[in-house]
A = this chain, B = another copy of it.
Amino acid sequence: MPRRIKKTAPGRKPVVRPSSQQVENLRRLRRDRAVETAQDYVEAIADLTATVGEARVVDLARRLGVTHVTVNRTLARLQRAGYVNTKPYRAIFLTPAGSTLADECRQRHQTVVSFLRSLGVADSIAEMDAEGIEHHVSPETLAAFERRLGKQ
């Protein structure tokens, strides 16, 4: 009969500490996923607006590699969150908050890409990795990247 390994000395408290710092890190990570989506969308909207003159659902769908249905639903959420303004059958516009967020993202993205390339990572791979990494780079780490880029 397999018996559970005793984790505590008799009369003592449990041994497994939650390591609350790491727990917090992981929690933050999950919370951030919603923000990541928002960032991808506002970045795409800003870019389309700058490039094509307006951002529309089909363009976003193509750009993000999802169907227009997904875009639609996500836009509804982003509107609730105050990042975009949409009207049925019309183009999508960023609110001031959305614009600010988009700018921050674009800049951070560029920094991460440049930094990776400065380490000798190939362009296409730097782009690819940056797409994932950028969302997890804290201001402190971003500053470190910039510092290093300056020292080149």
Contacts and interface: CB of A to CB of B under 8 A. Distances in A.
A124 B24 CA distance: 12
Contacts of A19: 63
Contacts of A5: 52-54, 91
A152 interface: no
A15 B65 contact: no
A107 interface: no
A136 B19 CA distance: 24
A122 interface: yes
Contact of A133 (B33, B63, B65, B136): B136
- Which bracket fits the contact residues of A? 35 or more
A52 B148 contact: no
Interface string A32-75: 11000000100000001000111010010011110000000000
A13 to B, nearest CB: 13
Contact of A141 (B121, B131, B135): B121
B4 A91 contact: yes
Given A23-B65, A119-B144, A119-B148, 5 more contacts: A23-B62, A23-B63, A119-B141, A121-B140, A126-B141
Nearest 10 Cβ contacts at the A-B interface: A132-B136, A23-B65, A119-B144, A18-B62, A5-B53, A25-B131, A27-B65, A133-B136, A16-B59, A25-B128
